[in-house]
Amino acid sequence: MALGQARRFGGLAALPQVRPQTGQEAAAWLKSNLDGYYSRPARVPPYRSSAAWALRQMDDRFSILRPDTVVLDLGCFPGGWSEVAVERSEVSSSSSRVIGVDSTRMDPMEYHTFIQGDLAKKATTQAILEALGDTRADVVLSDLSPASTGLKQEDHLNSMQCCLHAAKIMERTLKLGGWFALKLTYGSEIGRFRMYLDSRFETVRAIRPAAVRSSRDMFCICKGFIGRQTIASEAKSKNAYTHEGMDRWNGERWLSSQEMLDEDE
């Protein structure tokens, strides 16, 4: 508003407020300010990677990282997520531990245990179990990403493979009731993986933090690990082998394959 116009409407009181109140201007103002909140302010020391801001944002919302916890960070190189985990779980002043794993060697970090290894290999799982000792993780984080090929479906399937590696490690290392936060790339297999997560956790939330620039990346925040029953007890509890027509076999013995052939003749 020009100064002359402001005078006409009654001086300074008629000047618009700094933050626009309505319409597209207000939406643009909110977007730019929220985006700014999760990009690094100039005065804050930089993290090792900008990915750290996505974890900060998720932690602001869900309070995943707390003092006196054990955090396992899968795909930790160059260390942005691990820095946030060390900071927020107050490793320097509590009994917390942060263990990071990556196939790429990472520069050492204070209050951090680094394991170099491919998560597809048994030896890496073994090294993680040894580092955990008698304890189990309270939080398993996975920012695992395969090298990009530029082909959507290929990248999606490679990312799902990373999720399967992370899930396999999570099942062996996470405490009952623990958290699992992992990155996924949008694509055809997301629904199936979500069903798996739903079967293992009390609640699963899919989110895309503002700090994430790639439109294809999303995160699942899984709370309350309920563990995994043995396949035998799962089958028993869900009557997996009962279906229509099965009742007529009750009380009868199973036929051997030779007897079945004889019956067919």
Ligand X SMILES: C[S@@+](CC[C@H](N)C(=O)[O-])C[C@H]1O[C@@H](n2cnc3c(N)ncnc32)[C@H](O)[C@@H]1O
Provide the mask over 43-62, with x wherever binding to ligand X is found by CB under 6 A and - wherever it is not: -----xx-xx----------
Q: From the CB of 131, what's the least distance to ligand X, in Å?
A: 15
Output Rg (C-alpha) for the chain, integer angstroms: 26
Q: For tokens 């998720």, name the residue.
A: 58
Q: How many residues bind ligand X (CB under 6 A)?
A: 23
Q: From the CB of 204, what's the least distance to ligand X, in Å?
A: 20
Among positions 156-195, residues that touch ligand X (CB under 6 A) are: 162, 165
- Residue 75 as a binder of ligand X (CB under 6 A): the answer is yes
Q: Which residues are catalytic?
A: 183
Among positions 78-107, residues that touch ligand X (CB under 6 A) are: 78-81, 102-104
Nearer to ligand X, 49 or 69 (CB): 49
Q: For tokens 């899930």, name the residue.
A: 167
- Report in angstroms the alpha-carbon separations of 109 from 76, 86, 167: 11, 9, 26
Q: From the CB of 205, what's the least distance to ligand X, in Å?
A: 19
Decide if 74 contacts 142 (C-beta within 8 A): yes
d(CA 185, CA 254): 46
Stretch that binds ligand X, among 18-26, 72-80, 127-135, 235-243 (CB under 6 A): 72-80
Nearer to ligand X, 102 or 138 (CB): 102
Decide if 179 contacts 139 (C-beta within 8 A): yes
Q: Which of 29, 136, 146, 210 binds ligand X (CB under 6 A)?
A: 146
d(CA 200, CA 193): 11
Find residue 205's DSSP bridge partners: 221
Helix (H, G, I), strand (E, B) or coil at 140: strand
d(CA 212, CA 181): 15
Q: Which of 64, 115, 119, 137 binds ligand X (CB under 6 A)?
A: 119
Q: From the CB of 147, what's the least distance to ligand X, in Å?
A: 8
DSSP state of 213: -
Q: From the CB of 63, what's the least distance to ligand X, in Å?
A: 19
